[in-house]
Amino acid sequence: MRSIWNGNISFGLVSIPIKMYPATEDHSISFRQIHTRDSGRIRYRKVCELEDEPVETSEIGRAYEDADGALIPITDEDMAALALPTTHTLEIEAFVSASEIDPLQMGDAYYLGTGGAAAAKPYTLLREALKRSQKVAIAKYAHRGRERLGVLRVVDDTLALHRLVWPDEVRESTGVAPKEKVTVKPAELDLADTLMETLGEVDLGDLRDEYHEALEELVAAKMSGAVPVAEPGEQPAGAQVVDLVAALQESVRSARRARGEEEAGEEGAEREKATVTHLRGRKKAAAKQAPEKPEKPEKAEKAEKAEKKAAAKKAPAKKAAAAKKSPAGGKKTAGARKSGTTSAEEAAQEPTEKTAEKAAGKKTGAKHAAGKKTAAKKTTAKKQPGKRDTRTAS
- Provide the angle, in degrees to the nearest 10, between the axes of the packed helices 186-199 and 266-280: 160
> What is the model's pLDDT at position 382?
46
pTM equals 0.55
| pLDDT of amino acid 385 | 47
The per-residue pLDDT string of the chain (394 residues; one tens digit each, 9 = 90 and over) reads: 888 888 899 888 888 999 999 998 888 888 999 999 999 999 989 999 999 999 998 999 999 999 999 999 998 888 777 766 666 789 999 999 999 999 999 999 999 999 889 899 999 999 999 999 999 999 999 887 788 999 999 999 999 999 999 999 999 999 899 899 989 989 889 988 988 888 888 788 888 888 888 888 888 888 888 877 766 666 555 445 467 778 878 888 888 887 776 544 445 444 544 444 444 444 444 444 444 444 445 555 666 777 777 666 665 555 555 554 544 444 444 444 444 444 444 444 444 444 445 544 544 554 555 555 555 444 444 444 444 444 444 3
Cα separation, 4 vs 23, whole angstroms? 11
Which DSSP string corresponds to 75-91?
A: -HHHHHTS--TTSSEEE
Q: How far apart are CA 322 and CA 307, in angstroms?
A: 22
Beta-strand pair 71-74/62-65: antiparallel
Residue 79 vs residues 5, 19, 20, 87: alpha-carbon distances, Å: 16, 21, 21, 10
The predicted pLDDT at position 59 comes to 93
| Residues 256 and 263 sit within 8 Å (Cβ to Cβ) | yes
pLDDT for the residue numbered 96: 95
Best CA proximity match to 88, nearest among 160, 16, 2: 16
What is the pLDDT at residue 60? 94
